[in-house]
Structure 1
Amino acid sequence: MLINNRLIDKDEVSLSINDRGYQFGDGIYEVIKVYEGSMFTATEHIDRLYRSADEIRLVIPYTKDVLHKMLYDLVEDNKLTSGHVYLQVTRGVAPRNHAFPTELTEPVLIAYTQSADRPVNNHRFGVSTIFVEDIRWLRCDIKSLNLLGNVLAKQQAHEAHCYEAIQHRGEIVTEGSSSNIYGIKDGVLYTHPTNNYILNGITRQVVLKCCQEIGLPVVEEAFTKEQALQMDEVFLSSTTSEITPIIKINDTVIHSGEPGIYTRKIQQAFEEKVQQLTML
């Protein structure tokens, strides 16, 4: 496990109850996928971490290159083959007060690895989802530790025996509780534009590159719940879910309950990028 710039055994970890991440959710995080011992799109994840830090006025006390090396060493030290790295930075430890602590308060960085198999059955057969009203704050573009709205949405999906909750503000689909959402209609991919209502997912960025490579036009334009139900294909993406077809939303079956042809092409293009990484 990584605590600030030190690799230590998890049994030696000691975190303060006065950490602002614990008391206020005052921090940011990233999850980086690992394939065959190599971190996928690590540079993009680290860039986004620093952007999130800037947005909440948190200064990470390491350069991007140093942080990248620390995460590389963490993966090596844990001999992680397949799984992910979880990384978070909080504003630090200080007496409880809503206002920022003094400038002498040092941020706290922690990171650890977790082994996990790729969700191949979900990729092959698709998943069911439900619509859930998006009740989150208005800065969803910041990957902050404040995830209670996401947790409540995911729990609704879990209780409905579904994989994911598709969130919406009024009639407009935003994103999943832990994913980005896409619809394909008449050979065009639609997805919510990157603004304060959604997180610009790193896998989302890879998806758009894949679409360009396979010649699938992309329109970054919000669509409604009704339009989602009328799509030829729907899928979600995230670091851990990768490219997962959606075959059902509430009681409506999408594409006869089978992953669509364009979704399959995007999955293949994504897989080629993973293979390129693991061959390096």
Structure 2
Amino acid sequence: MSGLVYLNGDWIAPEAAKVSVFDRGFLFAEGIYEVVPVYHRRPFLAEHHLARLTRSLEAIGIEAPGQAFWLALVDDLIANNPSIESGLVYFQVTRGAESKRNHLPQGPMTPTIFATFTPMQLHWDTPAPAKVTLCDDIRWLRCDIKSVSLLGNQLLKQEAQRRGAIEPLLHRDGRITEGASSNYFAVKQGEIYTAPADHLILAGITRMWVIELAQRLGLKVNEQPFHVAELGELDELFLTSSSREVQPIGQIDDIIVADGRCGKVTQQLIDAFHASKREHIA
């Protein structure tokens, strides 16, 4: 069979998957999610993604299986969806369900575990430089937890769409944090700057990998804040995520970056990222 999802130990068609209306993920957004890219049916950087899943679950006090379980589940998802060559594995784990709605859990619960594998177009080109828009970061202060509570992120994404941008460029009191579903990197005088991995950002696995690739290329990476006041002085700007990989930015509202083209450093990192994918699937 193909096109199956995993829910609490069962492999079923997506339309047959059901959870309790009293699930705490449904009622209180009390859950964690994670996404693992798969290239040519081979998971990419899976151990790092699953370690982040474990950290986030521990941060909100949900007991869940160890990494061996998740790695096996990734393999099973791929096997149960033979028509998908490249895609995204999605995990969601909530605290579970009780018999009625309570603000505080009334006792131990069995976590709800859901997983799916959906197609993603694998690309080898240089994406066209995109526009982003500056927005106040209205989200909560534990952005390092990959929570399913994404209302703030979704409102910001909708505002970016209204402004004709692919993603918001978020800031808190002038300090650039990240995007609604991405991390940002600035290039100035040949050096790379990105927000530090503190509670104000979700430290992306693609972010981590791009930092490593940059260092292999001999580029200096500064994990320190850059600010709204500096945006007009940047030589380049790009964002990273599991789905977009490395995306050059050519415009921030009315500010044109790198003459609207993909900058030299950004292109080096796109090429390095593609090379790492080729090595992975070889």
Q: Which range, TM-score by smaller chain? A: over 0.9
RMSD: 1.2
TM-score (norm 2): 0.95
Query: Does residue 75 of the first structure (1) align with residue 74 of the second (2)?
Result: no
State the shift of 1:8 in Å: 1.9
Q: Percent identity?
A: 36
Aligned-residue offset at 1:170: 1.3
One-letter code aligned to 2:55: R
Distance (whole Å) between structure 1 residues aligned to residue 79 and residue 272 of structure 2: 28
2:113 to 87, 100, 109: 109
Whether 1:27 and 2:31 are equivalent positions in the alignment is yes
**Residue from 234, 252, 257 that aligns with 1:254:** 257
Aligned equivalents of 2:7 and 2:182: distance in 1? Answer: 28
Q: How does 1:1-280 map to 2 (within 5 A)?
A: 1-60=5-64, 62-79=65-82, 80-94=84-98, 95-103=100-108, 105-118=109-122, 123-279=126-282
Q: Secondary structure at the match of 1:78?
A: coil
Distance 1:27 1:43, change over 3 A: same
Contact 1:153 1:177 in 2 (8 A): yes
**Deviation (angstroms), 1:120:** 6.1
Q: What's the CA shift for 1:118?
A: 3.7
CA distance in structure 2 between the aligned counterparts of 1:84 and 1:182, rounded to whole angstroms: 23
Instruction: Report the Cα offset of residue 119 of structure 1.
Output: 6.0
SS in 1 for 2:127: helix
Deviations 1:140-165 (A, max 9, x none): 00000111111011001111111110
Q: C-alpha distance in 2, partners of 1:270/1:184?
A: 17
Unaligned runs of 5+ in 2: none
Secondary structure class of the residue paired with 2:113: strand
Q: Would the aligned equivalents of 1:30 and 1:87 in 2 still touch at CA under 8 Å?
A: yes
Q: Tell me how far 1:12 sits from its aligned partner.
A: 2.3
Residue 97 of structure 1 and its aligned partner are, at CA, apart by: 1.4
8 Å Cα contact 1:130-1:164 kept in structure 2: yes
Change in Cα spacing, 1:127 to 1:101, as seen in structure 2 (3 Å) is farther
TM-score under structure 1 length normalisation: 0.96
Paired letter, 2:52 = R
Runs (4 or more) in structure 1 with deviation over 3 Å come to: 118-121
Secondary structure of the 2:143 match is coil
**Separation in 1 of the partners of 2:28 and 2:261?**
43
Once residues 47 and 202 of structure 2 are traced to their aligned partners in structure 1, the CA distance between those partners, rounded to angstroms, is 17
Query: Is the contact between residue 192 and residue 219 of structure 2 (CA under 8 Å) also seen in structure 1?
Result: yes
Distance 2:104 2:232 in 1: 44
2:79, 2:129 → 1: CA distance? 33
1:97, 1:175 → 2: CA distance?
34
In the alignment, structure 1 segments of 5+ residues that lack a partner are none
8 Å CA contact retained: 1:119, 1:241: no
In the alignment of these two chains, the number of paired residues is 276
- Give the Cα–Cα distance (whole angstroms) in 2 for the partners of residues 262 and 221 of structure 1: 18
Residue 124 of structure 1 aligns to a residue whose secondary structure is coil
Q: Residues 157 and 168 of structure 2 are in contact (CA less than 8 Å); yes or no, is this contact kept in structure 1?
A: yes
Query: How many angstroms does 1:11 deviate by?
Result: 3.0
8 Å Cα contact 2:39-2:122 kept in structure 1: no
- Return the offset for 1:125: 1.4
